[in-house]
Amino acid sequence: GHRDDPLAGMNLTEKGYFLMTKAVVEIAEEFSEGRICSVLEGGYNFEALSASVEYHLRALAGEKNP
């Protein structure tokens, strides 16, 4: 999904991953007592992948803004 990944088509940024994760956290808090299972899939641009993982983890940790 990241815009810098040569095989991706979703054009996401790190902030996009943060906001999607934050939405999942809010849904999990409402419906599953906050429980979430997160799985790393991969990517073909390692800088974009590492930044996306960082922002995902920051959202899981409860940061309010990226």
pLDDT of residue 66: 87
pLDDT of residue 43: 84
Q: Count structural domains, the chain.
A: 1
Structure tokens at 37: 């299972």
Q: How far is CA 28 from CA 52, 53, 60, 63, 65, in A?
A: 20, 19, 11, 16, 19
pLDDT tens-digit readout, 7-48: 888 889 999 999 999 999 999 999 999 999 999 887 888 999
Asked whether the predicted pLDDT for residue 6 surpasses 90, the reply is no
pLDDT of residue 28: 98
Residue 25 domain-assigned (yes or no): yes
Residue 66 domain-assigned (yes or no): no
Structure tokens at 62: 């409860």
Domain that holds residue 33: 14-60
pLDDT of residue 45: 86
Residue 41 domain-assigned (yes or no): yes
